[in-house]
Chain A
Amino acid sequence: MAELTYREAVAAGIAQEMRRDENVVFLGEDIGAAGGVFKATVGLFEEFGPRRIRDTPISEQAILGAAMGAAMTGLKPIAEIMFSDFLAVCWDLVANEIAKTRYMTDGQITLPLVIRTANGAGSRFGAQHSQSVENWAMAIPGIKVIAPAFPADVKGLIAAAIRDPDPVLVFEQKSLYAFKGEVPDGEHVEQIGKAKVLRHGTDCTIVALALMVHRALAAAEILEKEHGISCTVVDVRSLVPLDTVTILAEVAKTGRLVTIEENPRLCGWGAEIASIVADEIFWDLDGPIIRITTPHIPLPSADLLEDNTIPSVERVVREIREKID
């Protein structure tokens, strides 16, 4: 085991796959010589050179279009969209083209491509560089959606995404880039579509994603020690495919579901999980489902405002205490 930062794990996952498959190529803005604006791709340009690691102009439609065209003709491209907010300027390629082409062509065209993007709040970047938009992607049939919380999952899930024959959108949480964690030595590939139970409890099951997993774990610790509330914590990891087997089983065991989402309130992924739980294991529930989300507002930028907008550890503790005690 080596300790890597979340950002180092990004480069490690990409490098692992580029070493084993010559058809893996990588394009995006400032990803090569500059090593990425978040320094998540440092060293790749030096190792793989300008033929495989390609800096692009600020042209998100061209980036995703090129990835799509390359994927349908034998390559396995990785495309970086610097901030997930920018997906809005190339959403046609994601929602209308990449996601739908396999079905529309009845399987003639398969698109083994990866879109990586920096998602989420916590960096004081304001409303156009801080959104959590994984729920936008989840709403489109035909694209897989993953969001790792830990360096080992970053490496293993990016590797899995590159090997996956279908398009995968990887949401990296930008305020986790400096987070350090153990990453297995040697080749490491995780399975897409599997949630992970990080903590076992008896009173409620917290289902969280990316940065919110860390807050869920911190809140669970406080709830246990200070308030005697025992929480299971499930890291969803993959929204599409969604590991409903694990989620339903863990919710059934405690009888309570809490979702913690960085999304704004309406149509967040937690609503879909709440719906599935209500539909399928309603009689296993001991009380109402609790959804903890960002309010339905654009994100503010000042420290105090942003910190009081996305779900904090304190807020998670407070809401669970109020509703479960």
Chain B
Amino acid sequence: MDTSKPMILGNDIRLELYKMQLDLRYCEKRAYDLFLQNLIKGTSHLSLGQEAIAAGFGVAMRPDDYTFCTYRGHAHTLARGASMEGVLGELMGRQCGLLGGKGGSMHLTDVTKGAMGSYAIIGAHLPVAAGAAWSAQYRGTEQVAVCFFGDGTTNIGAFHEALNFSVIWKLPVVYVCENNLYMEYTPIRSVTAVDHPAADRASAYGLEKIVVDGNDADEVYHTAVKYMERARKGGGPALIECMTYRHSGHSRADPGAYRPKGELERWLERDPIKIYRERLLGLGIVEATLTDLEVESMRKVDVATETAKGSPVPSLDQIDKNVWADGSTAWRN
């Protein structure tokens, strides 16, 4: 895709993409701050630096489309319209959390928004997304399932099973590999047979090789629209590799010390939000408009943080609820 010139997009869509990226960035930064205050326990995997991908797809998706994402899924869940207090509340283990405190950071879900779950076992959700796409195809609803995963996922068996399966059944599913160059702490290139862990394998499934700049929200959005529409109309799945970089470590415990000197700084120059802001200014959008969006986004995060902090912790009776559809946990009579 030619990225040298701005794509033809209306300013309304562009501002929506900018606003979405801001929300994801500020909310994720807040999550980091809340860790430091020990208000968020456990682990957490931030998408700082990768927001353009979740935002590009989030804006392109139809409200009834399905999102499947990984344990690095705060951004993708928010990008479908899940509430910030629901996300931050879940991270803080509060009653207002999306999952009432039962799932935590790695399992964010909001079915009412089409966010069909965050999956913490690498690869598991690729076939699940295929199943949702099968269901959409069977019911004739023209819904699309979008499945996000990291570069490391391309080396696990479920990736292969899901890709082959989706192609032979011509399912309306778009697989989105966020290649942030590292599988946890190890450079993906050093443990993978090909340069592009997803795209270079597309031909094995009869799919086209697609590599896009994952830090360019316009390019992601265009690609999302193109392949989601194709899938919606019965054209089958796509496998899209988005090149990006995470600004933070793999998880809360990781300072990212394995990265070569200067690499992070080079990628910070290509910060998706920074380059998008410059692009909008270059397109003649006045700075005050952008500043207003930034202030509003920060305000929303502040309000959500306070709401979540003010929410009680879950009541103990919740432990014994919701294993089964009748709400119970009974395994005997």
Contact = CB atoms under 8 A, between A and B. Distances in A.
Q: Do the two chains belong together in a single complex?
A: yes
Interface of A: 25, 51, 54, 56-57, 59-75, 77, 92-93, 96-97, 101-110, 112, 141-142, 165-166, 193, 240-245, 276
Interface of B: 66, 68, 99-100, 102-103, 107, 109-111, 116-117, 119, 121, 123-136, 138-139, 145, 157-158, 161-162, 164-165, 168-169, 318, 321-327, 329-333
Nearest to B90: A106
B135 A108 contact: no
A245 B121 CA distance: 38
Contacts of B157: 61
B323 A102 contact: yes
A97 B66 CA distance: 17
Nearest to B107: A104
A65 B130 contact: yes
B128 A51 contact: no
A226 to B, nearest CB: 36
A106 B127 contact: no
Given A71-B131, A75-B138, 8 more contacts: A61-B162, A65-B125, A69-B135, A70-B135, A73-B66, A97-B121, A102-B323, A106-B99
Contacts of A109: 109, 111, 116-117
A72 B129 CA distance: 10
Contacts of B145: 69
A105 B103 contact: yes
B330 to A, nearest CB: 6
A69 B127 contact: yes
A60 to B, nearest CB: 8
Contacts of A240: 331
B190 to A, nearest CB: 26
A39 B332 CA distance: 34
Contact of B168 (A57, A69, A106, A165): A57
B133 A69 contact: yes
A141 B324 CA distance: 10
B332 A242 contact: yes
Given A71-B131, A105-B99, A166 B324 contact: yes
Count chain B CB atoms within 10 A of each CB in A61, A103, A193 and give the residue with the most: A61
18 contacts: A62-B127, A65-B127, A66-B130, A68-B127, A70-B135, A93-B127, A96-B124, A102-B325, A103-B323, A104-B99, A104-B103, A105-B99, A105-B117, A106-B99, A110-B325, A165-B326, A244-B333, A276-B332
Contacts of A166: 324-325
Contacts of A103: 102, 322-323, 329
A75 B135 contact: yes
Contacts of B100: 106
